[in-house]
Amino acid sequence: MPANLSFDELTAGVADGTFDTVLTCIVDMQGRLMGKRFHAAHFINGAHEETHGCDYLLATDMEMYTVPGYAATSWEKGYGDYVHRPDLSTLRKVPWLPGTAMVMCDVLDHHGHDEVPHSPRAVLKKQVARAAAIGFTPMMATELEFFIFEHGFDALRDRGYSNLQPLGRFNADYALQLTSKEEELMRAIRNGLYGAGVPVENSKGEAEAGQEEINIRYSDALDTADMHAIVKMACKDIANAQGRAVTFMARYADGRAGSSSHIHQSLTRDGVPAFYDASGEHGMSATMKSYLAGLLAHAEATTVFLAPYVNSYKRFTDRLFAPTNAVWSMDNRTAGFRVCGADTKGVRAECRIGGADLNPHLALAAQVAAGLDGVERGLELEPETSGDLYAAEGVREVPRTLRAAVEALDGSAMLRAAMGDDVIDHYVRAARWEVEANDRAVTDWDVMRGFERA
């Protein structure tokens, strides 16, 4: 679904007072939207062509710390500017912010000539172009889960995120009456996003107390990733306005299930589903089988892009619906890769490994890269694994730690060829910094375990 505001409509809206602010948004390494708030008149008078931002926006950690060790930028290089070039095809209204529109931006070098290769949008666009070169369009959707809390962000931070109370008190998965207490917020989120041109299909209670899921219509890969980033910002903005907080942490507490971001994916050729073959087993075409084989072959190497933080790996727990084994199965929620829509034109692969903390542009790019490698090499799909896959033995596992996952990424010849050595080295450094930061940290667990008894 295209964004819902043209430049001419924005110009007219500025003239009649409908719009006074435009957000220019790049996607940072963590999948967050960064940029500037322009007076709308200045945006239409010139800033719609380009603006600028510090290059450290693609070289900081979650807390915006200037991480050492990046080749692209550093204190020695002076932390200069990148160009942020608005993609005017992504202009949209922001109904939850009065008088506001927003636009996604591509990140270019200081002279505005070439896209910065490690910028998340560029990483995904490169894989989309690669698919187009062999006649395919990647089509994708993400299912995004999160928790809602009774109190707002500031209140929770001020008390050190202790005694976190979800808005729901017990599992309300699919329960309409039980999730009504969350509906004031969820209705505002659904309607706000739909008004922004994000085609929300539905929301539902998820399988943990206070947990919700929101689903957006299947679309092309870049549109899906852009919308995913917008959804996260909208959920936080709207929750904050209502005095609530939400979290997209992969797992926020012991004894609680984690939050996922399942990725549904397929290819089309000239608008026709390329994964469907009525004569194939389960309706799966040879193209789909090879694509899925590529996902499996590179499952370990792509995990950093699905689970980018130390906390991400705490979600991979037996029988809490986060997979521990990277195998495929038909309509089986215990598998890392589930085949959905069997024997229909909607047959597709669902990657269930990713958490809600993933960067959508990087995650989708890695999935497309792996799948296309399978197609290009005509990989043969391994036999299906069925049953309770948490109990499966001798099968390919999801890496258990970020430390293990980053080693697989660093050593992936496929991803280095698909994305470029500079890009992989950049995100390897990011992952290793997370490991280093965690290794230095003294946690509540350390203190509770050892303060008196050590």
**pLDDT, position 171:** 81
Whichever domain contains 349, its CATH number is 3.30.590.10
Amino acid letter, 213:
E
Across all residues in the chain, what is the average pLDDT?
Answer: 95
- Angle, vertex CA 375, rays to CA 297 and CA 141, nearest 5: 80
Whichever domain contains 35, its CATH number is 3.10.20.70
Residues 91 and 205 in one domain: no
Dist CA 206 CA 201 (whole Å): 16
**Residue bearing the bigger pLDDT, 181 or 119:** 119
Residues 291 and 436 in one domain: yes
Residues 412 and 284 in one domain: yes
- 216 sits in which H/E element: strand 211-216
**pLDDT, position 73:** 94
* Over residues 312-319, mean pLDDT: 90
- 66 phi, psi to nearest 5 deg: -80, 95
Which of the listed ranges 73-87, 308-322, 386-400 does the model predict with the highest average pLDDT?
73-87
**pLDDT, position 434:** 97
pLDDT digits (tens, 9 = 90+) for 159-190: 999 889 998 888 877 777 778 889 999 999 99
Number of structural domains found in the chain: 2
Residues 137 and 106 in one domain: no
- Angle, vertex CA 50, rays to CA 193 and CA 35, nearest 5: 45
**Residue bearing the bigger pLDDT, 162 or 234:** 234
Reduced to 3 states (helix: H, G, I; strand: E, B; else coil), residue 230 is helix
Q: Please give the radius of gyration of the chain, using alpha carbons only, rounded to the nearest integer.
A: 22
Q: Which residue in 262, 252, 217 sits closest to 355, CA to CA?
A: 262
Determine the length of the chain. 454
**Residue bearing the bigger pLDDT, 236 or 172:** 236
**pLDDT, position 320:** 78
Residues 111 and 133 in one domain: no
Q: Considering the domain boundaries, does residue 193 fall inside one?
A: yes
Task: Identify the band that residue 3 occupies on the pLDDT scale cut at 50, 70 and 90.
Answer: confident
**pLDDT, position 2:** 65
Tell me if 170 sits within 8 A of 255, measured CB to CB. Answer: no
Residues 133 and 108 in one domain: no
What residues make up the domain containing 142?
Answer: 127-445
With a cut of 80, say whether residue 413 has pLDDT above it.
yes
**pLDDT, position 203:** 94
Residues 84 and 191 in one domain: no
Dist CA 152 CA 357 (whole Å): 20
Q: Considering the domain boundaries, does residue 44 fall inside one?
A: yes
Residues 300 and 246 in one domain: yes
Domain boundary pick from 65, 84, 116: 116
Residues 95 and 151 in one domain: no
Q: 130-141: buried (b, 16+ CB within 10 Å) or exposed (e) per residue?
A: bbeeeebbbbbb
Q: Considering the domain boundaries, does residue 121 fall inside one?
A: no
Tell me if 224 sits within 8 A of 141, measured CB to CB. Answer: yes
- Angle, vertex CA 355, rays to CA 3 and CA 339, nearest 5: 80
Amino acid letter, 266:
S
pLDDT digits (tens, 9 = 90+) for 15-63: 999 999 999 999 999 999 999 999 999 999 999 999 999 999 999 999 9
